[in-house]
Every structure is written in C-alpha cells, then in structure tokens.
Amino acid sequence: MSKYFLSHIAEQDIDEIITYIAQENPKSALKFLDSLYESMDLLAMNQQIGT
C-alpha cells in the first residue's frame, strides 16, 4: 500500500476548510473529509491516474 504525506501547511488548510464547512453543516464537513481522504488514498495507490 502506498502512503502519502501532507505538509503542515496542507494539514492546516484542510482543518480550516473543514471548520468553515462545519459551521453551516457538520455532516457535510465529515462527508467532505471522508471523500478527500478516499481520493488521496486512491491517488497514492494509483499514481498514474490522470496522466
């Protein structure tokens, strides 16, 4: 299984995005976060996707 690493700045950006979304809709924030990590996992495992 491939792994990926997020920079500290990227982690902060994700936290800010999730916090912003959660202010209006906490369930949507969690769905977005799950989808984001699923996408990052997919890209890590299939690095040639989109080329």
3-class DSSP state for residue 6? Answer: coil
Q: How far apart are the C-alpha atoms of 3 and 17, rounded to whole Å?
A: 23
Which residues, 6+ apart, have CB-to-CB distance to 41 below 8 Å?
Answer: 4
Q: What is the pTM of this model?
A: 0.80
Cβ atoms of 44 and 38 within 8 Å: the answer is: no
Give per-residue pLDDT as tens, 1-44: 568 899 999 999 999 999 999 999 999 999 999 999 999 999 99
What gap in Å lies between CA 12 and CA 18, rounded to an integer? 10
